[in-house]
Chains A and B, each alone.
Chain A
Amino acid sequence: MSDPKRLHPIAAVVNALRQLKEMIIPFLIFVVFGSRGTDWDLFYFIGSIGVVVLVLVYGVLSWYRFTYRIEQGELRIEYGLIVRKKRYIPFDRIQSLDLSEGILQRLFGLVKVKVETAGSGGMGLQDGEAVLTAITKQDAQAIHDYLVSIKKSGQIPQGEEEPQSSDDLLYKMSVSELLMLATTSGGVGVVISAVFAFVFQFEEFIPYEQIFDGVEHFVQNGVVFISVVVFLGFLLAWMIALFGTMLKYANFTVRKVDNDLVITRGLLEKRQFTIPLNRIQAVRISENLIRQPLGYASAYVESAGGSALDQESSKVLILPIVKKRKIPGLLEPHLAEYHFRVSISPAPQRAYSRYLLKGWLFTLPIIIVAIWFLRPWGFGALLLLPISALWSYLNYKDAGWSLDQGMLTFRYRNIVKSTVYMRKNKVQSFSVKESFFQRKKNLATVEAIVKSGHGGAGGKVIDLEKRHVDMIYHWYSHETAE
């Protein structure tokens, strides 16, 4: 397998299309500003055609230059039209191969292979990886097999027996779950605007005109009209999002192959992610406002490294939507170090007033401004007070922590309720914060940071019992632990 290979010709098309897509905005500006004077139309037309042709030619030529081969345990890529570049990636440095199939690839039975190395990124080498835009499935399989054989021979010097490569199905999303996922993601805007539209319908029943004599006719009609338009807009956006989500997450499966989690998803564009288990830094369970009352939640893993600076490779959705009580059963057998049935200690009762105050600190300015400037309607903003109180109550209720067998769990809510499970040895740094007022009440804030992608992620719980916080601090300290 040492002779240089080219990508499938379709790669040239894919690359050219991507180039064109990136050019759309400058192109539009060019056309818009260019089509002022009538004499210039022809010039601009020819110019545009010329640019498109250039891009296509460039695409074909760079496809022609791009070769890859497997040689001496390395993936060797040579490319570059004007500046010739060579990139050799040793196979034992390759962390994972991410396969995806776009529409064009699928038409021709091809895959796009992204080669991820461990060391990429960090020191500014974010493109320390390789992308093979379109190769046949057999070739991809061959690369994969080669990778597996190298890893096996490298890691197991003389094993008693070749470990069977295991392949467990961890989770497969059902159709009803897909529907659930699509309808409950990002739907808050629709609900709110529906409520608004609905509230304004009450005008029929409540004689607002008599209550607020001075309200102008225009405002009333305007508000109703705008709220309906906004609602329809949201509805449309939501439908599009719903459709998009369904396409994106259809056939979502998670398998455990050897020591990797392999996630496959997508209908039109098929994507496959591989996360080595040892790169998992934390597990996060999120419940958004719509899913929580229905008992549904989603689970993410924070993963270290990843090839590019894209969010997708650091915070990976492994369970898009499942009944919350099913999560331990699904994950525990496979993520042996994590256990999800922990008892969470809540924040002390006296913390509630601080949560409440903090909420009001944000809402009061809004209320004052609203009352000041929108006199009769502005008083409606007073409704924000109980809403904010309820919100603070939820935040307070959800704040909690747990220590259990080398695992730290934080639970907190911003808008979405999150529970973060972190192993002690994966926590990069740990902080305790006390403000003057917290000290008076014997409360403190804890924060733990794990690596996620090239940055950090983690959790922060506000206003816990100081004594408990000290306990967690001690637990984390490597000096006192012994």
Chain B
Amino acid sequence: MTISEPQKRISEQALTVWKIAATLHSLVVWVLAGGLIAITLIFDFPEWIIAAAIAVAVVYSYLFIILLPTLRWKRWRYEVREQEIELQYGVFIIKRTLIPMIRVQHVDTQQGPLLRKYRLSTVTVSTAATIHEIPALDMEEAENLRISISRLARVADEDV
């Protein structure tokens, strides 16, 4: 018995946003590397330190700006059905999660400045015990999702 994976993908813009965010992150690594290189030059430390610092920064940037976001984006799927929400994500470990509609307590959307610029929202689905996140959806789609999930969730009212 195999399970077909959820069909819908998150917004393509998400990849751009992630890459920008990761670039900002990796700036820190570059600054650190730069500092290290400066110290090496000033105090005449062995030269391999310079090479190592640059190598680490390059590898870091490649991993976190290019490789991982792409893999992550490719993996991300979700599907909202009548009675449940299904998510699939993860880079090295694929995680698939089912959240029954009757368990959903509330749905939130939120966006930071970066997401807003690209007209995206993060959707957060909370059950009584867990919180699940769809990281970047088109704003309108997120809005619709929030409305439809909360409507579907309201149909089944069960104790806890």
A residues whose Cβ falls under 8 Å from a Cβ of B: 278-279, 281, 304-305, 425-436, 439, 449-452, 455-458, 467, 470-471, 473-474, 476-479
* Closest partner residue, chain A, to B127 (CB atom): A428
Chain B, interface residues (CB within 8 Å), range:
20 to 34
- Contact: A467 with B97, CB < 8 Å? no
State whether the Cβ of B47 lies closer than 8 Å to any Cβ in chain A.
Answer: no
> Given the complex, which residues of A lie within 8 Å of B93, measured CB to CB?
433-436
Interchain CA distance A479-B98 in the complex, whole Å: 11
- Contact: B83 with A479, CB < 8 Å? yes
- Contact: B129 with A479, CB < 8 Å? no
Interchain CA distance A477-B87 in the complex, whole Å: 12
> Given the complex, which residues of A lie within 8 Å of B95, measured CB to CB?
431-433
> Given the complex, which residues of B lie within 8 Å of A281, measured CB to CB?
160
Tell me the minimal C-beta distance from B97 to chain A in angstroms. Answer: 4
> Given the complex, which residues of A lie within 8 Å of B132, measured CB to CB?
429
Tell me the minimal C-beta distance from A446 to chain B in angstroms. Answer: 10
Q: Using a CB-CB cutoff of 8 Å, which residues 110-157 of chain B contact chain A? A: 127-130, 132
* Closest partner residue, chain A, to B85 (CB atom): A429
Which 5 A-B pairs give the minimum distances between C-beta atoms? Answer: A456-B129, A478-B83, A451-B129, A428-B127, A428-B129
Stretch at the interface among B11-19, B38-46, B99-107: B99-107
Known: A432-B95, A457-B129, A478-B83. 6 other contacts (CB 8 A): A429-B127, A432-B96, A450-B129, A451-B127, A451-B160, A474-B3
- Contact: A431 with B128, CB < 8 Å? no
- Contact: B101 with A473, CB < 8 Å? no
> Given the complex, which residues of A lie within 8 Å of B100, measured CB to CB?
427, 429, 478
**Pick the contact of A478 from B2, B84, B90, B130 — CB < 8 Å?**
B84
State whether the Cβ of B48 lies closer than 8 Å to any Cβ in chain A.
Answer: no
A-B contact pairs, 28 of them (CB 8 A): A281-B160, A425-B158, A427-B100, A427-B103, A428-B103, A428-B127, A428-B128, A429-B100, A429-B127, A431-B95, A431-B96, A431-B97, A431-B98, A433-B90, A434-B94, A435-B92, A435-B93, A435-B94, A439-B94, A451-B160, A470-B2, A470-B3, A473-B3, A474-B3, A478-B83, A478-B84, A478-B98, A478-B100
B residues whose Cβ falls under 8 Å from a Cβ of A: 1-3, 81-84, 86, 90, 92-103, 127-130, 132, 158-160
Interchain CA distance A428-B92 in the complex, whole Å: 25
* Closest partner residue, chain B, to A450 (CB atom): B129
Tally A-B pairs: CB < 8 A: 86
Interchain CA distance A426-B102 in the complex, whole Å: 10
- Contact: A430 with B129, CB < 8 Å? no
- Contact: A479 with B82, CB < 8 Å? yes
> Given the complex, which residues of A lie within 8 Å of B98, measured CB to CB?
429-431, 473, 476-478
- Contact: B130 with A449, CB < 8 Å? yes
- A429-B98, A435-B93, A470-B2 given; A452·B160 CB < 8 A: no
Tell me the minimal C-beta distance from B155 to chain A in angstroms. Answer: 12
Tell me the minimal C-beta distance from B12 to chain A in angstroms. Answer: 25
Interchain CA distance A432-B95 in the complex, whole Å: 6
Interchain CA distance A473-B96 in the complex, whole Å: 9
> Given the complex, which residues of A lie within 8 Å of B160, measured CB to CB?
278-279, 281, 304-305, 426, 451
> Given the complex, which residues of A lie within 8 Å of B102, measured CB to CB?
425, 478
> Given the complex, which residues of A lie within 8 Å of B81, measured CB to CB?
479
- A431-B98, A436-B92 given; A278·B130 CB < 8 A: no
* Closest partner residue, chain B, to A435 (CB atom): B93
Interchain CA distance A49-B42 in the complex, whole Å: 63
Interchain CA distance A476-B103 in the complex, whole Å: 13
> Given the complex, which residues of B lie within 8 Å of A450, measured CB to CB?
129
> Given the complex, which residues of A lie within 8 Å of B3, measured CB to CB?
470, 473-474
> Given the complex, which residues of A lie within 8 Å of B130, measured CB to CB?
428-429, 449, 456
- Contact: B128 with A471, CB < 8 Å? no
> Given the complex, which residues of B lie within 8 Å of A451, measured CB to CB?
127-129, 160
Interchain CA distance A206-B1 in the complex, whole Å: 60
**Pick the contact of A455 from B2, B86, B90, B129 — CB < 8 Å?**
B129
> Given the complex, which residues of A lie within 8 Å of B127, measured CB to CB?
428-429, 451
Interchain CA distance A477-B6 in the complex, whole Å: 13
> Given the complex, which residues of A lie within 8 Å of B129, measured CB to CB?
428-429, 449-452, 455-458
> Given the complex, which residues of B lie within 8 Å of A439, measured CB to CB?
94
